[in-house]
Structure 1
Amino acid sequence: MAEISSLSAAQAADNPAGTPLAQIAASLAARSGFDAAAKLRLMAAGRQVGWLPHSHAAILRGMGAVLGPDERLADGTAAVELLPGRHDFDTRCAALQALARRLADAGHVRGWRDELFAVTPALDAPAVAVVERAAARFLGLLTFASHMNGIVDGEIDGGPALWISRRSPAKAVDPGMWDNLVAGGMPHGSDPLATLVRECEEESGIPAELAQGVQPHGVIEVLRDLPEGVQWEQVHVYDLLLPPGFTPHNQDGEVSEHRRVGVPALLAIMSAGAMTVDATMVTLDALGRRGWLDVGHRV
């Protein structure tokens, strides 16, 4: 897996406090804390599938959910087995789905999606189970997503431009925040490209034949604490050059606005912390790769 840095040390050093890139770096840092000491490595079939907060482990044990005993590891962290002794895929799935419903009924998870995420140590590894998407961050599961930078074929205000989207205020996660033109979680049984092509149509009205022309640009790994648990996500990054005159149109109600913005306006949005963490990282990657973080394109 190729891992992409959202903002290199050299870029940060070249941008003193008060500049947009320094403000973006500060915003990302403020929203990206992770305390491994407050977590258990969640294990299944001998491999790590998540980072379970100690507080959430206590909730699960209080509900009678099956967790093994804590085990101290050589690196100073602790691990716990999920559903020990249950080796059958269907049995694990049934237990986790019942658990997710109990967590939702108790108010511990929100935004029920009727969408299943894999419980797995890696994208290319067989899933040991599936679980309702809404419970993934409570359990700190490793999840997967596809994000796409919508590159404008042409200029705005004398420079390059991108299409971005604003998340619906009804979204359970990051409501009303700016996002990449297309972004979506990867359900069990899908893959990065198939997920992206589907989301292109649903979120921005981009037909499949156009979406198939995306360019892959590696993976960003996000690991951070959230009020609802942990976001541990591998984000597959794509760019798509959109034809002149193309205007996105949302189809599924999950996007409230699309906006075509030049680089200075985009940097201002990110420096204000108005874009999601993962979308900010994906956007910065595109700007850096394309040489659009030059002094002439900064505000």
Structure 2
Amino acid sequence: MAPKYSNLDLVDQVDGFPNAATHPVAFAERTADHARFMYLSHTVGLIIPRVLEALQDVALSGDWWEITPGVVRLLGDTVEERTKNMDETTRRWRKAKRFEVLSGWRDERYTIYAPKGAPCFYMERCATPLFGVVAYGSHMTVYIPATPTTPLRIWVPRRAAGKATYPGMLDNTVAGGMGDGASPWECIIKEAAEEASLEGSYVRAHAKAVGFVSYFYVRHADAGGEAGLLQPEVEYCYDMIVKEPHEGGPVPKPFDGEVDEHILMDVDEVIENLGAGKFKPNCSAVLLDFFIRHGVLTAENEPDYLEIYSRLHRRLEFPTR
């Protein structure tokens, strides 16, 4: 059966916002009615019209916003003041049920960065797509290498059917957002235990940092909340080689209820499920990057190789950590 989605289609799903550097006309057209979210002279996010409208309602959003044509600034002289003002606004929106995405409130703070990796302010995780600011996560691919008689195989979890976001879809072996100032490494250790019951000591001894993927996601309805919200992201990537289960290799097991099962899939099965659109969009990006690094996806077998590679490592238009 022919795949429903090409590899480039999968990239388009997760990197759906025009790049100002490579497509300046499309970027200008797309952002004509957007506002730049500014800190000093730096753009830290992009705000779509429906969010701008809410900010302009002082009774709803408070008077700690400076709004001029095409530009929004969060007032406050310190990180703490800006954090307090952002928190007050988003809590007001949540109480008023202004945006559906805020129904996923987690009391988990994300760091929004000024230049040179300095914190600009902190904000609730589920509110970040309302302001088009950069979010961060860590993803790990746990795999059994190929042998002369067996193909490379990957442990693939199926997300719980009851999850609010992407229920029942396939995921990376371990993945999670980086909240509360956690480092990428701390995040992957924590998520490995919570999502896959993998011992921290084992992960520390065997997992290896292998780079990152970055993209500018325009959220789908399956992401939870309003479709069309903006979510530029950086996902730090890790690989971990394990042995066969019968040789004593660890077997990922659900722990915190976010995963229903873990399936050991060979490369062809993963490729088939990618083409069928069964993976969560950003997990497809991480797997394509894995395939490139491991020689599964090459310039010889993928006509869109250069575009796929470059767009999986997009230079974002905002300050990063």
Is TM-score (shorter-chain normalized) higher than 0.5? yes
User: What residue in structure 2 maps to residue 292 of structure 1?
Assistant: 296
Question: How far off its partner does 1:136 sit?
Answer: 0.9
- The answer (yes or no) to whether the contact 1:137–1:231 under 8 Å persists in 2 is yes
Q: Deviations over 1:229-281 (max 9, x none)?
A: 11111111111112321210122111122111011110111111111221111
- Candidates 216, 219, 222, aligned match of 1:223: 216
- Say whether residues 1:36 and 2:31 are aligned partners: yes
Q: Unaligned stretches of 5+ in structure 1?
A: 1-17, 72-77
Question: How far off its partner does 1:52 sit?
Answer: 1.5
Q: 1:132 to 1:20 in 2, by over 3 A?
A: same
- The answer (yes or no) to whether the contact 2:4–2:276 under 8 Å persists in 1 is no
Q: 1:48 to 1:157 in 2, by over 3 A?
A: farther
Q: 1:175 to 1:39 in 2, by over 3 A?
A: farther
> How far apart, CA to CA, are the structure 2 residues paired with 1:204 and 1:157?
27
Q: 1:178 to 1:39 in 2, by over 3 A?
A: farther
> How far apart, CA to CA, are the structure 2 residues paired with 1:268 and 1:198?
30
> How far apart, CA to CA, are the structure 1 residues paired with 2:82 and 2:149?
55
- Say whether residues 1:175 and 2:158 are aligned partners: no
Q: 1:218 to 1:37 in 2, by over 3 A?
A: farther
- The answer (yes or no) to whether the contact 1:157–1:262 under 8 Å persists in 2 is no
Question: How far off its partner does 1:138 sit?
Answer: 1.5
- Candidates 93, 101, 104, aligned match of 1:111: 104
Q: Normalized per residue, which structure has more helix?
A: 2
- Candidates 44, 61, 66, aligned match of 1:64: 61
- The answer (yes or no) to whether the contact 1:154–1:244 under 8 Å persists in 2 is no
- Candidates 15, 19, 25, aligned match of 2:8: 25
| SS of 1:274 mapped into structure 2 | coil
| SS of 1:159 mapped into structure 2 | coil
> How far apart, CA to CA, are the structure 2 residues paired with 1:19 and 1:209?
42
- Say whether residues 1:88 and 2:96 are aligned partners: no
Q: Normalized per residue, which structure has more strand?
A: 1
- Say whether residues 1:280 and 2:277 are aligned partners: no
Q: 1:103 to 1:240 in 2, by over 3 A?
A: same
- TM value normalised by structure 1: 0.82
Q: Unaligned stretches of 5+ in structure 2?
A: 18-29, 220-226, 303-321
User: What residue in structure 1 maps to residue 201 of structure 2?
Assistant: 209
> How far apart, CA to CA, are the structure 2 residues paired with 1:132 and 1:240?
31
- Say whether residues 1:248 and 2:252 are aligned partners: yes
1:125-204 equivalences in 2 (<5 Å): 125-153=117-145, 158-204=150-196
**Aligned residues between the structures:** 272
| SS of 1:190 mapped into structure 2 | coil
Question: How far off its partner does 1:105 sit?
Answer: 2.4
- TM value normalised by structure 2: 0.76
Q: Deviations over 1:136-191 (max 9, x none)?
A: 11121211110111112466983111011122233333222211001110013211
Deviates further, 215-224 or 156-165: 156-165
Q: What is the root-mean-square deviation of aligned Cα atoms in Å?
A: 2.7
User: What residue in structure 1 maps to residue 237 of structure 2?
Assistant: 237
User: What residue in structure 2 maps to residue 258 of structure 1?
Assistant: 262
- The answer (yes or no) to whether the contact 2:156–2:263 under 8 Å persists in 1 is yes
Q: 1:19 to 1:289 in 2, by over 3 A?
A: farther
> How far apart, CA to CA, are the structure 2 residues paired with 1:145 and 1:158?
32
| SS of 2:237 mapped into structure 1 | strand
Question: How far off its partner does 1:31 sit?
Answer: 5.1
- The answer (yes or no) to whether the contact 1:121–1:142 under 8 Å persists in 2 is no
Question: How far off its partner does 1:49 sit?
Answer: 2.1
Q: 1:20 to 1:155 in 2, by over 3 A?
A: farther
| SS of 2:155 mapped into structure 1 | strand
